[in-house]
Homo-oligomer: A and B are copies of this chain.
Amino acid sequence: MSLSCILRRTSSFLSSPLLLAIFFIPIAQAEYVPAKTDSVSGSTHRITLRAAPLPSGQFGYQMVSHKIQTAGGQTEDVTARYSDKPTIPGPAIVMTEGDVAEITLENGIPNTDQPVSLHVHGVHFDIRSDGTMKMLNGVADEAAFPGKPYTYKWTAAPGTAGTWPYHDHTFGNPMLGAEDKGLFGTLIVNPRSGKVPALINGKIEDVNVGDIKREFILWMHETTFWGMEVNNILKGKQVPLWTNPTVGARLGEKVRFHVIGLGTAFHTFHLHGHRWLNPGTTHVVDTVNIGPISRDTFVVQAGEGVGTGDWHFHCHVIQHMQAGMMGDFKVVK
């Protein structure tokens, strides 16, 4: 972005001196006491991520270390869940409402003096964990430079359950970030209630998160799906699926799809033979609009009402299909 564009957002089309005045007017009001939503009653995740190059010249986030300390004080090292290489999308970080995460990002991109960062959606963090540069946040370059890691703190407060993207917000062009080159990944915050609504056997009911066998994360980037499976049968083992993947489940398993957009294109995600609830509604759908960073998360029972088979999924925008934006949901006995 040119300097003129940057200036444009801080100036006004016509002079508007009233604006700045207004939000500093010292109007008396009851003092605001923020609710204690950040109180930690869950686990603490201590994570080190590294931004690193892929053989293709793209970038990916790589899990270096993930240790979980429970409220009771035990610590478990779950690093072995993850690929030991950078992947696209990056590692899926799974939390529960009440958890906090301290995430240190290392810059492993060779031959550059450019920073990389982590901007996350949905959860709570103070302005120093926004993952933006000082020109935007006014405080600091919240990014990892070569040899200088940066640490973020995220709080999965009550009310933040959902599927959220994280991505770079800095690289190369300070406004753009390297998200478009592969620096994006997924945060799943499960509700403390342990239940999510779903359409099961034709009725809306609550499904126990603990009964979800597999999580299929599908990012829709221009004309390509980029996938990651979190296999809960294998205790959260993460399987990079790369591009336009085949995913699989046994007939009747409850699986959860997380579909997220990225980049510039708008998509319609369709999965053959299955239908699901539009989140937060009673509306049954099988095709949903996905724009850059907008998303849809839903649980289905694999093969419900349709049985085993190679159930095609694809973007229903015809030119995207023609470019190969499709995959296979293989349901087996």
Residues of A within 8 A of B (CB): 1, 5-6, 8-10, 12-14, 16, 18-19, 22-25, 27, 29, 32-35, 37-38, 55-56, 85, 88, 119, 121-122, 124-127, 130, 132, 136-139, 155, 157-162, 164, 173, 175-176, 179-180, 199, 201-203, 229, 231, 233-234, 237, 239-253, 261, 263-264, 266-268, 270, 272-273, 275, 277-289, 291-295, 303-312, 316-319, 321-324, 326-328, 330, 332
Given contacts A5-B323, A201-B159, A286-B121, contact A23 B248 (CB under 8 A): yes
Chain A facing B: main interface SS: loop
Query: B261 to A268, Cβ gap below 8 A?
Result: yes
- Pair B272/A132 contact, Cβ less than 8 Å: yes
6 smallest beta-carbon distances between A and B, as pairs: A280-B283, A159-B202, A32-B252, A127-B309, A23-B248, A13-B242
Q: Is B281 a contact of A281 with CB atoms below 8 Å? A: yes
Q: Which residue of B lies closest to A38 (CB)?
A: B305
Pair B130/A9 contact, Cβ less than 8 Å: no
Known A-B contacts A280-B281, A324-B9; A251 and B16 likewise in contact (beta carbons under 8 Å): no
Report whether A309 and B126 are in contact in the complex, using a CB–CB cutoff of 8 Å: yes
Are A176 and B322 also in contact (CB < 8 A) when A251-B34, A268-B294, A281-B283 are?
yes
Contact in complex: B318, A292 (CB < 8 Å): yes
Tell me if A307 and B126 are in contact (CB < 8 A).
yes
Contact B175 A322 (CB under 8 A): yes
Q: Which residues of B contact A179 (CB under 8 A)?
A: 318
Q: Is the CB of A138 within 8 A of B318?
A: no
Q: How far is the CA of A201 from the CA of B36 in the complex (A)?
A: 9
* Bound complex: CA A249 to CA B19 (Å): 11
Are B19 and A229 interface neighbours, CB within 8 A? yes
A285 contacts across to B, CB distance below 8 A: 162, 294
Q: Which of B29, B307, B316 contacts A127 (CB 8 A)?
A: B307
Q: What B residues does A266 contact at CB under 8 A?
A: 266, 289, 291
Alpha-carbon distance between A328 and B248 when the two chains are bound, in angstroms: 43
Q: B283, A124: Cβ atoms under 8 Å?
A: no
Query: Which of chain B's residues has its CB closest to A33's CB?
Result: B252
CA distance A19 to B328 in the complex (A): 13
CB distance from A35 to the nearest CB of B (A): 4
- Contact (Cβ within 8 A) A305 B124: yes
Indicate if the CB atoms of B19 and A246 lie closer than 8 Å.
yes
Give the contacting residue for A288; candidates B175, B280, B294; CB below 8 A.
B294
- CB-nearest residue of chain B to A333: B32
Shortest A201–chain B CB gap in Å is 4
Set B14, B202, B319, B326: member contacting A242, Cβ < 8 A = B14
A293:B310 contact, CB within 8 angstroms: no
Q: Name, among A29, A176, A202, the residue most crowded by chain B CB atoms within 10 Å (CB to CB).
A: A202
Most chain B beta carbons < 10 A, residue from A23, A119, A125, A159: A23
